[in-house]
Chain A
Amino acid sequence: MIYYNCHTHIFSAQYVPNNVVGVPIMNVLATDPISSRVTKFFSKVRYRKINSSVERVARFAEIGLGTRQEVIFNYLEDYYKGWGDVRFVVLMMDMEQMGAGNPLSNYRTQVEELVKLRARGTYKDKLLPFLFVDPRKAEFSTGEKLRDWVKMHFEEYGFVGIKMYPALGYYPFDEKLDALYAWAQEKFIPITYHCIEGVIYYRGDVKSLRPPRFPNSKHNLTETKNERYQRNFTEPENYFDVLKMFPELKINLGHFAGEDEIKKNGPWYQTVKKLIAEHENVYADVSFTLNDTGTHEQIHRDINTKGIGEKILFGTDYYVVEKNKDEAMLRDELRNKLNELDVAAGAAKDSSFNQIAAYNPIPFLTSAYYRP
């Protein structure tokens, strides 16, 4: 059996603009040798559940802010020693257009570093990269240019999916994405979107933003605070408009709307489930959200709900979630809980976990360019 973690990141701090919360501190913690000695010390005590914020931040800094993507990926592989064949969907991030200034190294550098790293024998089939797409990038003067650029990366550099992060300041139904969607639908290419309210969002002037192409009743365009304006971009209702145009598009709503939404059965969570139930190719992954054990029972119910359970994916959001819990703890807590519930329901051991981590990812990842 091959396991898939459908949601991980390995981009290092140099690809994140310094204005994004916490990055300067993290940078110091990770690259400054004095602080990194301290962080190393704290990171050794993991599993002892000290649960102090220092320990968590230290761990996050130590892993995520290493200098190279390879080092970060190696840490991830280490967590799965003894698991046999495990493959990781690595989602790239381009934060150059989020209005928080330029990162130290640009996105082109990140792509080149990743492609070169993956070309080395042991990584090519283990590391499954999703190319980040931002329609606002200056070189994409037309949607066709954008599509051709993505296409070239699939045909030449072995990318297997697309990643988007609307909260950085664009709608998933942006006109410039139409040509890309038409092509992706035809080639069954998976697209993962960030679908949770978070701390990384558009920092520029919200008043300068264009009104959405397809406004819906959930948008609040009079909002002036960036922190709340991001909800307009992330709003799951937006995907009804995307799917109206491209009903067969294969999309994954990363984070399943978030742990708070799941626990209170909130509107975003309900919308995501509705999207999944009504469309053949809509998925959701439990990454990040799974760090809250309060969601596990509901996740188990969803996995065992016909029409939805086939389209839930296992993912962790490594290493972003490392500041809450480490990879092994996240994975094992969810797996153990699902097991317990499986056994109580008279199902086979690991049946729920295997479904989201081994079976559901297969149709999700299968495209004209890749077959798991």
Chain B
Amino acid sequence: MNIFIDVAISMAFVFLLFSIMVSGICEMWQMLKRKRAHFLREALEDVFNCRQNKNYAHLLYAHPMIDRLKERKQTYPQYIPSAIFADALIDVIRNDSKLPRFRFDQEKKEFVVLQDAYSVDSTDASGNVLAGTGVVADFTAAVEELKESDLKQMLRTLLLGVTNYDQLKATTARWFDDYMASTTTWYKRYLTRILFISGLVVAIIFNVDAIHLAKSFYKDKLLRERVVDAAIQYASNEANRPATPEAVNFNSAPEKISMDSAVQVNVDAVTAAYRRAELLDIPIGWNIERVVGYKKYPQFTVHSRWLKLPWFAWELLKYIVLSLAGWLITAAALSYGADYWFNMLSKFISIRTAVKPKEEKK
């Protein structure tokens, strides 16, 4: 019984170290690519790039209210508060058919820009805003002028039961909050995919074959004991608990950490995890023995020494096919994240300590 727990501990520890590497790499990649901001823009393009009319996503991003949210000239904002989004969208749509107009003053030889005044809310005798006047009237008229499209249908739906600006803004903001919640879900799904892919890349580069590892831990007592000791020592130090990466949530602003320091933190975590894995001296990595086993090279004559190459290529191919399952298991395991593996490791260790005294009594 004990041996299985020890193999589990060893495996969990290896997965933990490599998932620290993988999540660190993924996080850096996301930051450097400003993935979050681009994902947000793409999500909005999906809804607001309307070929029958205009690309309102682009016009929204060019709107000063949203444009001011970005950190640098050539980037997109990472997060848009729903109230700001609602104001900007209402403004872009109600102005759709009311662009600024230009008149050339022949005397002064310059252009004069005329902006349409917005409609003003009408009120009744007691000062209550009359339903469907002012901004709501402008917005409704602009929506009606759009060519039929999914977007027009959606904007019409937003207008249902709306009588004044506050209501229009609230409905729009509510829609945006819901849409951002879905976007968050899509982003999580996308992230799992990315974690799996980078897990696979890491598994192949470092040749971390889960099946081969499990077998080695099972067979090699010395190796197993060494890894279990290191794992127990590692897990007992709460400082080693991996920091939970900031979950991306499009409904709230990201933490303000400077990109360079965040990258540094991740680089440190990745290198530390790698060093530790290296010190364990476990059967991972690429070397000729692992690929060709302890087979003897076929005896070739001096003249045909180059024939070793196709022979080696063939052996390599066989090795890759046989290792694929192991790499895929590793990749799947790594996509669970460092956090998960730290918890699993702690659980296995507590089972081990619970089981041990009983066995000693026998």
Within 8 A of B (CB), among A7-32: 14, 30-32
Interface contact B58-A108, CB-CB below 8 Å: no
Q: Count of chain B residues with Cβ under 8 Å from any Cβ of A?
A: 31
Q: At the interface with chain B, which of A99-107, A176-184, A242-250?
A: A99-107
Interface contact B100-A105, CB-CB below 8 Å: no
Query: Other than the known A14-B58, A113-B58, A124-B102, what 13 A-B pairs have Cβ atoms closer than 8 Å?
Result: A33-B34, A66-B74, A67-B74, A68-B61, A70-B62, A105-B49, A105-B58, A109-B58, A112-B59, A113-B62, A118-B102, A125-B110, A158-B103
Within 8 A of A (CB), among B90-132: 99-104, 106, 109-111, 113, 115
Judge whether B55 is part of the interface by a CB distance below 8 angstroms. Answer: yes
Instruction: Please name all residues of chain A whose beta carbon is closer than 8 Å to the beta carbon of B73 when the two chains form the complex.
Output: 66, 71
Judge whether A119 is part of the interface by a CB distance below 8 angstroms. Answer: yes
Q: At the interface with chain B, which of A275-283, A327-335, A364-372?
A: A364-372
Q: Majority SS of interface residues in chain B?
A: mixed
Judge whether B157 is part of the interface by a CB distance below 8 angstroms. Answer: no
How far is B103's CA from A121's CA once the two chains are assembled, in angstroms? 14
Interface contact B111-A108, CB-CB below 8 Å: no
Q: What 0/1 pattern do residues 112 to 140 of A give for CB contact below 8 A with B?
A: 11011111010011000000000000000
Instruction: Please name all residues of chain A whose beta carbon is closer than 8 Å to the beta carbon of B115 when the two chains form the complex.
Output: 119
Judge whether A351 is part of the interface by a CB distance below 8 angstroms. Answer: no
How far is B76's CA from A30's CA once the two chains are assembled, in angstroms? 13
Q: How far is the CB of B42 from chain A (nearest CB, A)?
A: 11
Instruction: Please name all residues of chain B whose beta carbon is closer than 8 Å to the beta carbon of A78 when the two chains form the complex.
Output: none
Judge whether B185 is part of the interface by a CB distance below 8 angstroms. Answer: no
Instruction: Please name all residues of chain A whose beta carbon is closer than 8 Å to the beta carbon of B33 when the two chains form the complex.
Output: 32-34
Contacts A67-B74, A371-B109 given: A102-B55 contact, CB under 8 Å? no
Interface contact B99-A104, CB-CB below 8 Å: no
Interface contact A36-B74, CB-CB below 8 Å: yes
Q: Count of chain A residues with Cβ under 8 Å from any Cβ of B?
A: 35
* Complex: chain B residue closest to A371, CB-CB: B109
Instruction: Please name all residues of chain B whose beta carbon is closer than 8 Å to the beta carbon of A14 when the two chains form the complex.
Output: 55, 58
Contacts A104-B49, A156-B101, A369-B104 given: A113-B111 contact, CB under 8 Å? no
- For A113, A118, A158, the residue with the greatest tally of chain B CB atoms inside 10 Å of its CB is A158
Interface contact B110-A124, CB-CB below 8 Å: yes
Interface contact B51-A156, CB-CB below 8 Å: no
Contacts A36-B74, A125-B111 given: A105-B55 contact, CB under 8 Å? yes
